[in-house]
């Protein structure tokens, strides 16, 4: 399939689908091994692929688990710079539940996942620690501590 992303000059557009897994007061974050910030797990949508199917596919690819995709939390227009490019990202952020019997659900430290040859570091973090961390997009440091009752539209610019 074809990912919904394109680059023009120094600007890249992405359509990204994201999972918010909260368990026992902790949230599951990940980062590429060489990044200095954390983000919620997910990935780029493919053409003709429903957003919930994207999240299912990404979690199978990255963590080899079947997740339960819940309600839509945020529709985020995210503008940021990454690896020399200006990004315009449209993100769909869904509540996501990992299986109760998934051994990684109880992990205290980091664990690895892989996608397309990239080593991903995953870790559960207490929600109260998020404001002291570099989490992108940065509105999540507070937003994850009190999830919206219904879907919210967010326009976010990270410097």
Q: What are phi and psi of 49, to 5 degrees?
A: -110, 120
Question: Closest Cα to residue 139, out of 70, 79, 52?
Answer: 79
Residue 99 has pLDDT above 80, yes or no: yes
Give the CATH number, domain containing residue 115. Answer: 3.90.79.10
Instruction: Indicate whether 50 belongs to any domain.
Output: yes
Question: For residues 18 and 28, what is the distance between their CA atoms, to the nearest angstrom?
Answer: 11
Q: 19-73: per-residue pLDDT in tens?
A: 999 999 999 999 999 999 999 999 999 999 999 999 999 999 999 999 999 999 9
Q: 109-157: per-residue pLDDT in tens?
A: 999 998 878 899 999 999 999 999 999 999 999 999 999 999 999 999 9
Structure tokens at 159: 């410097």
How many domains does the chain divide into?
Answer: 1
Instruction: Indicate whether 43 belongs to any domain.
Output: yes
Q: Which domain holds residue 51?
A: 5-100+108-147
Pairing of strands 118-126, 11-20: unpaired
**Burial, 90: exposed, middle or buried (Cβ in 10 Å; 0-12, 13-18, 19+)?**
middle
Structure tokens at 101: 């019997």
pTM listed for this prediction: 0.95
| CA dihedral over 82, 31, 39, 67, signed as positive or negative | positive
Instruction: Indicate whether 153 belongs to any domain.
Output: no
């Amino acid at each position: 399939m074809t990912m919904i992303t394109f680059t023009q000059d120094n600007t890249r557009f992405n359509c990204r689908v994201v999972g918010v897994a909260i368990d026992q007061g902790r949230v599951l974050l990940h980062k590429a091994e060489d990044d200095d910030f954390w983000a919620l797990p997910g990935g780029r949508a493919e053409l003709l692929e429903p957003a919930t199917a994207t999240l299912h596919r990404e979690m199978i690819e990255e963590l080899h688990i079947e997740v339960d995709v819940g309600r839509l939390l945020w529709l985020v227009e995210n503008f940021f710079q990454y690896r020399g490019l200006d990004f315009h990202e449209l993100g769909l952020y869904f509540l996501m539940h990992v299986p109760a019997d998934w051994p990684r659900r109880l992990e205290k430290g980091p664990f690895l996942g892989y996608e397309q040859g990239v080593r991903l570091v995953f870790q559960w973090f207490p929600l109260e620690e998020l404001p002291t961390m570099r989490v992108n997009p940065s509105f999540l440091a507070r937003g994850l501590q009190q999830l919206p009752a219904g879907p919210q539209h967010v326009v976010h610019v990270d410097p």
